[in-house]
Amino acid sequence: MTVNVRRHRARKGAQGLRPVQFWLPDTSTPEFAQQVAHDIGVVAGPHPEDDAMQEALERLAAETLTEWPADRLLRED
């Protein structure tokens, strides 16, 4: 280990810090790019349950949020 590295580590240690090593995915690999593309498709893709959930939330809001006009709770598609 060089003198500069030793000094740097000593200064950081004196500040109450310690070195930590992290292992992260290699973002330059084709496999990583494929996984990211797949994950984006899953998250951004259509989900049939979304419409049913939206309708249920709108019904619940219409029943409980009486101070808001009902027409403002409906989706404008």
DSSP string spanning 25-74?
--TTSHHHHHHHHHHHHHHHS--THHHHHHHHHHHHHHHH-TTS-GGGTS
Q: What are phi and psi of 62, to 5 degrees?
A: -65, -35
Q: In the prediction, which pLDDT does 75 show?
A: 59
What is the dihedral sign for C-alpha 48, 50, 55, 59? positive
Instruction: Judge whether 75 and 58 are in contact, CB under 8 Å.
Output: yes
In tens, the pLDDT along 44-65 reads 887 878 888 888 888 888 888 7
Digit-by-digit pLDDT tens for the chain (77 residues) are 799 999 999 999 999 999 999 999 999 999 999 999 999 998 888 787 888 888 888 888 888 877 666 666 665 55
**The pTM of the whole model exceeds 0.85:** no
